[in-house]
Structure 1
Amino acid sequence: MRFTSEQHLEDGVLEREFTLGEIPGTLWTTPGSAPAPLLLMPHNNGLPKADPRLVARGRHAAARGYAVASIDAAGCGERPRSAAAEQARAELRRAMRAGEPVDEIFESFIGPLVENAAPEWRTTLDALLELPEVGGPVGYAGGWTALGIRLAVTEPRIVAAGFFAGGYVPRAQREEARQVTVPLLFLLQWDDEGNPRQRALDLFDAFGSKEKTLHANLGGHLGTPAFEAEDAGRFYDRHLK
């Protein structure tokens, strides 16, 4: 891991850009504190790690005493996308304009994104835990639910997870959800335009965790209330501190 820049922010948080091979990432920490528990903060496919909403969440969690990391996984942000993924995105836009079913198109490119991103996140986790300012345990705090399911099932160092119900979850991850056993916080926007409510409720029901909490709020995809950040903070405090 090589740090390429650093910036001391006015809230006391240190923001550092890094590269790990071909993987670009950002790490937010609070300098001077003991080794901090780590939050992995993946973003929905296609968004860059510099997305303002993601940065705000990272800074908020770091100010609360966590080390927070985000990367642009393969095919995300400014990293090259495969020709197949670009074709699928174009077909998705066409189908949505025409009002046609889109589930099979989502399957065709989100499934491979998860398969490619999960190993890169495990590589990043290995490198982060070697840093003196980063300790354990590890939590998942990402908007990319499908990836979070895969990591929660395959990565034993993750001990708690927070998911957003706003993204498409492929069939493979819907099946894997039954193997998720870590404490879980699931955020659902009741009127999300792109995610059928019943599908999200069925996914929550499928999770195998003995401790799982559903927070449902009125509003569309981007309408998650600001107070959910504080509730999520208390959830991670219970399980990571």
Structure 2
Amino acid sequence: MQFTSEQRLDDGVLEREFFLGEIPDTLWTPESAAPVPLVLMAHNNGLPKGAARLVARARHTAASGSAVATIDAAGCGDRPRSAADEHARDDLRRAMQAGEPVDEIFETLVGSLVEKAVPEWRTTLDALLALPEIGGPVGYSGWTAVGIRLAVVEPRIAAAGFFAGGYVPSAQREEARQVTVPLLFLLQWDDEGNPRQRALDLFDAFGTTEKTLHANPGGHTGTPWFEVEDGTRFFGRHLK
């Protein structure tokens, strides 16, 4: 773990950038002397870890008493994409412009991102839990497709918050039945590119007996801020 920058923000949160091999990471920690829980936070569909909405969520969660970490997984942010991923993205753009079906292309593109991202998240988790200021337990918040796989394969995940606004491959839809941790699922009722019924079917498929669906009117980026605050309370209940 190689830290490359450090700054104390005006809300008292300490923000540090670091690398684990080729994985660029950001860690936010609260002002606390005791080991704190950890929330892994991923942007839907692997957008950059520096995206403004993700950073705002991370800082709010850290100021409330949990450490928060995010990464740019392979093919996300500024990290290079494979030729196959670039080809899939080109096919997706052409299909969308032509009004053609895109599910098969999304299966290839998002499925590849999940397979690459999950091992890197687990490597990051190993390193973070070795830091003295982080004691667990661990939550996950954000990108649904990656979160489902992590919740299934990673026993250290104790609670999860998913956003319904990203494509979820068929493999993760099947794996959803194996998710047994407490779950908060956020749905934008009028999301332009994500069919509502598909999100409702996914919520029904989750195997956990402790799951909550919050639906709000509005488009893909319209999740109200009070859902961020409620998500912080959700993790406070299950991680402390």
TM interval, short-chain normalised = over 0.9
Determine the structure 1 residue equivalent to 2:166: 167
Shift in Å at residue 4 of structure 1? 0.6
**Secondary structure at the residue paired with 1:229?**
helix
What amino acid sits opposite 1:57 in the alignment? R
Structure 1 counterpart of 2:182: 183
Moved more, 26-35 or 196-205: 26-35
Report the Cα distance in structure 2 between the residues aligned to 1:79 and 1:109, rounded to whole angstroms: 16
Corresponding position: 1:196 with 2:190: no
Structure 2 CA distance, aligned partners of 1:228 and 1:181?
A: 22
Partner of 2:114: 114
Quick one: distance in 2 between partners of 1:54 and 1:89?
23
Aligned to 1:125: 125
Letter in 2 for 1:85: D
Counterparts of 1:233 and 1:26, CA distance in 2:
19
TM-score (structure 2 length as normaliser) = 0.98
SS at match of 1:41: strand
Structure 1: how far apart are the matches of 2:104 and 2:80? 23
Deviations 1:189-236 (A, max 9, x none): 000011100000000000000100000000000000110011111111
Aligned amino acid, residue 51 of structure 1? A
User: Counterpart of 2:230?
Assistant: 231
User: CA offsets per residue over residues 5-64 of structure 1, 9 Å max, x none?
Assistant: 001100101100000011000000013431110000012234111111111111000000
Q: Give the deviation of 1:112 after TM superposition.
A: 1.1
Are 2:44 and 2:163, in contact at CA under 8 Å, matched by a contact in 1?
no
One-letter code aligned to 1:9: L
How large is the RMSD of aligned CA atoms in angstroms? 0.8
- 1:1-241 matches, cutoff 5 A: 1-142=1-142, 144-241=143-240
Which structure 1 residue ranges, 4+ long, deviate > 2 Å from structure 2? none
Letter in 2 for 1:149: I
* SS of residue in 1 equivalent to 2:186: strand
Q: Distance in 2 between matches of 1:170 and 1:97?
A: 22
SS of the residue corresponding to residue 106 of structure 1 reads helix
Cα-to-partner distance string for 1:120-156 (whole Å, 9 max, x where unaligned): 10010000000011111000011x1000000000000
Task: Please report how far the alpha carbon of residue 181 of structure 1 lies from its aligned counterpart in structure 2 after TM superposition.
Answer: 0.3
Amino acid at match of 2:155: P
Q: Which stretches in structure 2 are left out of the alignment for 5+ residues?
A: none
SS of equivalent to 1:166: coil
Q: Is the 8 A contact 2:164 2:185 kept in 1?
A: yes
Question: More deviation in 23-32 or 131-140?
Answer: 23-32
Q: Residues of 1 paired with 2:172 and 2:106: CA distance?
A: 13
Map Cα deviations across residues 49-100 of structure 1 (whole Å, 9 max, x no partner).
1111111111000000000000001111000100111111111111111111
